[in-house]
Structures are given as C-alpha cells and as structure tokens.
Structure 1
Amino acid sequence: MSLTPSQFAWIAEMVERAAAIVLAPGKEYLVESRLRRLATQAGFDSIDALVLAAQRNSPPSLRHELVQAMTVNETSWFRDRDPFAALTDVALPEIVRDTPRGPLRIWSAACSSGQEAYSVAILLDKAGMSGRGYEILATDLSEEMVTKTREGRYNQLEVNRGLPASDLVTYFERQGAEWRVNDRLRSHVTTRRLNLAEALPPMQKFDVVFLRNVLIYFNLDTKRAVLNRIRQALKPGGWLLLGAAETTVGIDADFERVPAGRTAIYRVPAGSRQPVKEVTPC
C-alpha cells in the first residue's frame, strides 16, 4: 500500500521538526522504500500499520526510529576525492604553518558509517601527523551509524568502494568475512550521536570540519543556523569542507571561500595572514 498524501505530510513534518531534513513532494518513493524496510525490521505487516503506530506513538521509540530511517547513509572511501586533496594540499600546510604544535582536531559531521572519518585518518597518517597527534570526532544523527563507525567493521563490498588495496593491507585486519580498521587508526577516532539541527554540546574547537552533502537537505534558515554553529565550533582560521553542490556563498558571509583545485573550501578569517596559495586544477 502506498503512502497517502496526509501520511506523507505527517512524516515530512515530523522529520523536519526532529532533524531539519526537508522531504519535499516527489520524495514519496524514497520515503516508502525506507519505511518498507523499517516495517519489516519492526515486525509490521505493512507501511500503513507502521505509520499508524508511529502516529499513536506506540511504542514511543518508533518515531525516533522512523526519523533515523529517513537520514541518508550513502558514503564510500575518499568519496569525491577533491575535498581530500584540498585538505592535504591547502588546509593542512596552512594549519601546520600557523599552529606548529598541538594535536590536529577534525570533525566529521554527519559521518554516516565512518568511511569519511577513517579516510581522513589514513591521509593524516600518511602525512606524518601521528607524531604531532590528531583527533577526529565522527558524529551522526543515527545511533546505528555511530555504532558502526565506532566498531570500524566493513564487509568486502564496502571496502571495495574506493579503498585502495594498499590502504586495506596497511590499515585493516581481516576478521572472518569482514575487515576491521586496526587499533592504531581507530584510536584517533571518537564517536557520538549528534543532531546538527540542535544547539551543539560543549566541544573543543576544531581545525577542520567536514560537513559534506548535508546542507542540501536543509531549508535556507536551517542552513544559516547550522553554518553559524559550525563557524563557532571552528578555531580562528579553521577550515570547512562542503559537498560539491554546497556553498556558504549567499548564506553565511563570515566564511572566506578559497579555491582549491577543482573545488573550493571555506575558512573562518583569523586576522592578518599570508594569502593562501591556490592549487591549480589537474
């Protein structure tokens, strides 16, 4: 049975209220496919029965599970390589020059199942940052994704999506049918559940924030609110990396746009500084 217009409207309103994710008309097929999976997992014989139970708030956890089912968990290793090149070629040299001591702090916001956070950890390890130290915070709205990131376990299909064979050998251990990120790399990554649409908890400030392919799901007011929170979570001179279809331009004028090869990254100005050397696209 398909969702009725009133059911879709109720779900869209609840998801936007809880997670600020906008489910516009035309997303009915996406919503139905995710509800169908949730209905099977939760023991309901139809989507209609699932929605009715959620509307009655019985059990109370069902609405939370429904919201989490609507979050997008699409990811891969080194997804869209340009932002990772921007990190190593533009942001990292600037950070090392301006703050030569102390651990590097990076936040992978909306980390999904953790591939982004561990991709960053691999890059930093290769760049020799283990001596200086680095800390990566990986957060997501979904408790299931946070747990998967913390465990660092991936099946063969998942490691085949963008992970070079040399990195698999160096940074993973085979455990049955799965591969697990080794203890040394995992020790640099901490996890927590966090809703970007809400006020942020107290956190130490970050040198870099990855917030990729997240803003596209928010309305303009939420984009502004989220970018304002992220800006306050960054150190002066800190860097923000967005998805290819995202920008701060026209939304938050307090970020400086810095070209970086085939992409652009964004920086919180920190007073007088040397201009950033632009990276020429390949």
Structure 2
Amino acid sequence: MTLTTTSFDWVRQLVHRESAIVLQPGKEYLVEARLLPIARQAGLTDVSQFVESVRTRPSPDNTRAIVEALTTNETSWFRDGDPFTALTSTVLPSLLAARGPSERLQIWSAACSSGQEAYTIGMLLEDALPNAASRVAITATDISREMVERTRAGRFSQLEVNRGLPAPMLVRHFVRAGNEWEVAPQLRRMVTASECNLAAPLPRMGPFDVVYLRNVLIYFDLPTKQAILRRVRDVMRPDGWLFLGAAETTLGVDDSWERVVVGRSSAYRPLKGK
C-alpha cells in the first residue's frame, strides 16, 4: 500500500467536506483502490504522490474526481424487490385515489447511480398506467456527474441488464443499440437526471409524492442524516411516501416520520403537525 496516513486523512476531510460521506479509519484500502486508476491516468504510480499533488495544487476537476471515486455506485434493477412491489400494489392506488385526474405524480430517485432505480420505477408505472409518460415525472439525482450522464444516456451493457432485469421487461422497454441496450423513448421521457448533493441545500424541486432514498443514509453521520431527512420532508407532499434501504430507518434519527408496513416492505410518511 502506498497511501500514507497524511494522505488518507486529507482525502477523508475532503470527501466529508464535499459530500458529508464518512470514511472511517480502516478504509485506506478502499481509497487506495479507487484512486489508483486516477493516479495512473495522471502519470503517477503512487496514490500518495497523486493526493499530495492535488493537495498542493488543487483544481476543481481533480477534487471532483477524488470525491466521485469515493462515492459508492452499487445498483441493480429491482434492488431488494419489495419497495418496488409496494409501489404498484399500495402506493400508486392510494395516490391515484387522492389526486385529481389531471395531477401529475412526481417521484424522486435520490442517489440514483447509473439510473437503474429510476428506470425500474418508470417501467413499473408505464405497465400500470395508461399514458404514463404524461402522468408521471421521475427526477433522478446523484452527486456524481458521470452517473448523471449515464442516467441521461439510458444505455446499459448486457452484463448490467442481466442484474435483475426480467426478460419480458427488457423486450418491452428497451431497444438494441449495438452491444448495449437503450431505454425506449417513451420511458426516457419520464426521467429527468441532474446533479444533487444531498448533504447540501437542495435545489428547487418537487413537491414529490414518492421518494426513494435507499442505501444512502448509511454513509453519513447522525447530524447529516437528520439534515437530509429534514430537507427531503420539505420537498415532499404531506401525504407522500419515503422508501429507505433495508438497513436504514428514521427511528431514533428524526421523529417527524411515521413508519408504515407496506406488504413485506416498510415506508415512512410525514407526521402531521411535525
């Protein structure tokens, strides 16, 4: 390992300052592995040399490259299953009953990575709703510019579509693009992708009927989790639905949410008067 303690500490501070992600001691191997390709691209074989060069001669491109390299972009289609089953079995009927026929449903896929979650939601709603493209707007955001660009492109390799995408849905909602698969135009129209740092004040957006904020809060300390949940609540409708990851909860973090059981999953709803 070539990463010195000084370099690791500087990277930790940079990543926390820019994204609020906490890199605990013991994650030196992760920093080393993620930054080595960037160091080599810069003509260096030593990660600490690269970090020192960025520290002494900072540039927006290099600091962004470090932060994005340390952002986890793990994703797949229908990840964990149950929160998506709950969308069509319970959440959608409830929202349609509460909304007027001309009201557009707004859904936020936060920390969307390369877009699989946003397009999973889109496919489900397109199959469940006539003229879904005109009735549903899906906002997909991520801190990584590269991931946002990938979401906008809507192109996935065979290996990526093999990770959880049922063959009938692939046929219905995608078209071949050489060796890749491309999201069909009507599905793409439902999804708008943009950059968003959850640890900073949110841009003007919403109000959302449903928010998927899954497998994100686990990377933050308690004050940051609390701040993010407050910001999310501020851009949700009073009767909205929030889905977190299986290992995440608002309990003991923010008491302005009510946990509700939805099938085999759980969702959180804003408590009135909080």
Normalized against structure 1, the TM-score is what? 0.92
Residue 48 of structure 1 is matched in structure 2 by 48
Per-residue CA distance 1:39-98 (angstroms, 9 max, x = gap): 233433321221111111344421111011110000000111011112122221211111
Residue 277 of structure 1 is matched in structure 2 by none
Per-residue CA distance 1:163-221 (angstroms, 9 max, x = gap): 01111111111011111001110000001101000001111300001000000000000
CA 1:58–1:269 in 2, change beyond 3 Å: closer, same or farther? closer
Residue 76 of structure 1 is matched in structure 2 by 76
1:237-252 map, 5 Å: 237-252=239-254
CA RMSD across the alignment: 1.4
CA contact (8 A) 1:142 1:193 kept: yes
- Could you tell me which runs of 5 or more consecutive residues in structure 1 were left unpaired when the two chains were aligned: 272-282
Residue 129 of structure 2 is matched in structure 1 by 128
Higher deviation after alignment, 219-228 or 77-86: 77-86
1:256-271 map, 5 Å: 256-269=258-271
Which residue among 137, 140, 163 is the counterpart of 1:138? 140
CA 1:162–1:36 in 2, change beyond 3 Å: closer, same or farther? same
| SS of structure 1 residue aligned to 2:176 | strand
- Whether 1:88 and 2:91 are equivalent positions in the alignment is no
| SS of structure 1 residue aligned to 2:164 | coil
Alpha-carbon distance in 2 for matches of 1:43, 1:136: 41
Shift of 1:129: 5.1
Alpha-carbon distance in 2 for matches of 1:217, 1:121: 27
Alpha-carbon distance in 2 for matches of 1:2, 1:156: 35
| SS of structure 2 residue aligned to 1:61 | helix
Which residue among 169, 177, 180 is the counterpart of 1:178? 180
CA contact (8 A) 1:124 1:130 kept: no
Residue 235 of structure 1 is matched in structure 2 by 237
Residue 275 of structure 1 is matched in structure 2 by none
CA 1:44–1:167 in 2, change beyond 3 Å: closer, same or farther? same
Residue 66 of structure 1 is matched in structure 2 by 66
Q: Write the letter of the residue equivalent to 2:160.
A: E
Higher deviation after alignment, 81-90 or 243-252: 81-90
- Whether 1:198 and 2:200 are equivalent positions in the alignment is yes
Q: Write the letter of the residue equivalent to 2:124.
A: L
CA contact (8 A) 1:53 1:59 kept: no
Higher deviation after alignment, 254-263 or 228-237: 254-263
Alpha-carbon distance in 2 for matches of 1:27, 1:209: 30
Residue 31 of structure 2 is matched in structure 1 by 31
Q: Write the letter of the residue equivalent to 1:106.
A: I
Residue 214 of structure 2 is matched in structure 1 by 212
Alpha-carbon distance in 1 for matches of 2:171, 2:32: 39
| SS of structure 2 residue aligned to 1:87 | helix
Higher deviation after alignment, 125-134 or 241-250: 125-134
Higher deviation after alignment, 28-37 or 107-116: 28-37
Q: Write the letter of the residue equivalent to 2:112.
A: C
| Percent identity over paired residues | 53
- Could you tell me which runs of 5 or more consecutive residues in structure 2 were left unpaired when the two chains were aligned: none
| SS of structure 2 residue aligned to 1:89 | helix
Q: Write the letter of the residue equivalent to 1:246.
A: E
Q: Write the letter of the residue equivalent to 1:122.
A: M
| SS of structure 1 residue aligned to 2:141 | strand
Higher deviation after alignment, 122-131 or 138-147: 122-131
Shift of 1:270: 5.2
Alpha-carbon distance in 2 for matches of 1:226, 1:209: 12
Normalized against structure 2, the TM-score is what? 0.95
Alpha-carbon distance in 2 for matches of 1:184, 1:136: 13
